[in-house]
């Protein structure tokens, strides 16, 4: 049994920071490609990433306590899934950016399906956290996942704000840069760098 104490909060927060780095980079890319994004939209996008970062450790914890054998077999496919999803999204952004590189940027909104795919791709590695928190009771696993989600939300809002600022300055090249960032994240997850 794990006690709810200062170390628990710090450990969960640091875990959140580590898990949020991919989501931060994707947020940065999204801010670059959608420089006229408002605060409500930023909160919604960051909320999606935070929601996935909350759900994945909980799903991993549930799997450890119910169907651990299946989850262990699935774990080796996590880098492949993240790579394929981010290559697809990043490649699509890259192609759109190259086709429209001379045009003035139009504020094209990120589609819901793309946002969900990004959320899954950037949080799928958090499934493994279910193993690291397997000795927690369900309430502690829930609180740890909630802390991870809050940290992710804050970090992703920061990434969106930074991306928006640079997206406005980079104009037509922002989509190309965003696509390159997503592809790089895919390879980073795949190779475990």
The answer as to whether 65 is a domain residue is yes
Q: Is residue 17 part of a domain?
A: no
Q: Burial level of 176, CB count in 10 A (0-12/13-18/19+)?
A: buried
Q: Percent of the chain scored above 90 by pLDDT?
A: 27
Has residue 182 been placed in a domain?
yes
Long-range contacts formed by 64-69: CB under 8 A, 24+ apart? 64/130, 64/131, 64/134, 65/134
Q: Which long-range contacts (CB under 8 A, 24 or more apart) does 115-118 make?
A: 115/45, 115/48, 116/48, 117/85, 117/88, 117/89, 118/26, 118/30, 118/49, 118/85, 118/86, 118/89, 118/182
- R_g of the chain computed on alpha carbons: 17
Per-residue pLDDT of 132-172, as tens digits, reads: 788 889 999 999 999 999 999 999 999 999 988 886 666 55
| Residue 172, H or E segment | none
Domain that holds residue 180: 23-191
Q: How far is it, in rounded angstroms, from Cα 52 to Cα 55?
A: 5
Tokens describing residue 5: 């104490």
> pLDDT tens across 4-51, in order?
788 889 989 998 888 888 889 889 888 888 888 899 999 999 999 999
Q: Taking the mean position of all CA atoms in its chain, how far away is CA 126?
A: 10
pLDDT, mean of residues 71-86: 75
Q: Is residue 120, in this structure, part of any structural domain at all? A: yes
**Residue 90 belongs to some domain of the structure:** yes
Which of the four pLDDT bands, split at 50, 70 and 90, describes residue 68? Answer: low
pLDDT of residue 139: 92
pTM: 0.76
> DSSP string spanning 94-146?
HHHHHHTTTSPPP-PPPPHHHHHHHHHHHHGGGGGHHHHTTTS-HHHHHHHHH
Answer with the residue of higher pLDDT: 139 or 93. 139
- The whole-angstrom separation of Cα 111 and Cα 6 is 39
In a domain, 2, yes or no: no
- Please determine, for residue 74, whether its predicted confidence score (pLDDT) is greater than 80: no
The chain-wide mean pLDDT, for the chain, equals: 82
pLDDT score of 188:
77
Whether 7 is covered by a domain: the verdict is: no
Task: Work out how many domains the chain is built from and give that number.
Answer: 1
């Amino acid at each position: 049994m794990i006690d709810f104490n200062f170390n628990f909060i710090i450990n969960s927060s640091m875990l959140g920071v580590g898990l949020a780095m991919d989501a931060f980079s994707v947020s940065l890319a999204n801010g670059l490609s959608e420089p006229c994004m408002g605060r409500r939209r930023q909160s919604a996008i960051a909320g999606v990433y935070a929601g996935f970062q909350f759900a994945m450790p909980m799903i991993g914890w549930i799997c450890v306590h119910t169907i651990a054998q299946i989850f262990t077999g699935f774990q080796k496919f996590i880098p492949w899934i993240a790579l394929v999803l981010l290559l697809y999204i990043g490649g699509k952004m890259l192609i759109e950016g190259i086709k429209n590189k001379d045009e003035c940027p139009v504020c094209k909104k990120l589609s819901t399906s793309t946002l969900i795919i990004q959320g899954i791709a950037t949080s799928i590695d958090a499934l493994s956290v279910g193993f690291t928190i397997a000795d927690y009771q369900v309430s502690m696993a829930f609180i740890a996942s909630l802390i991870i989600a809050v940290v992710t939300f804050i970090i992703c809002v920061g990434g969106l704000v930074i991306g928006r600022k640079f997206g406005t300055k980079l104009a037509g090249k922002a989509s190309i840069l965003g696509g390159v960032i997503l592809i790089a994240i895919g390879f980073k997850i795949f190779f475990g760098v």
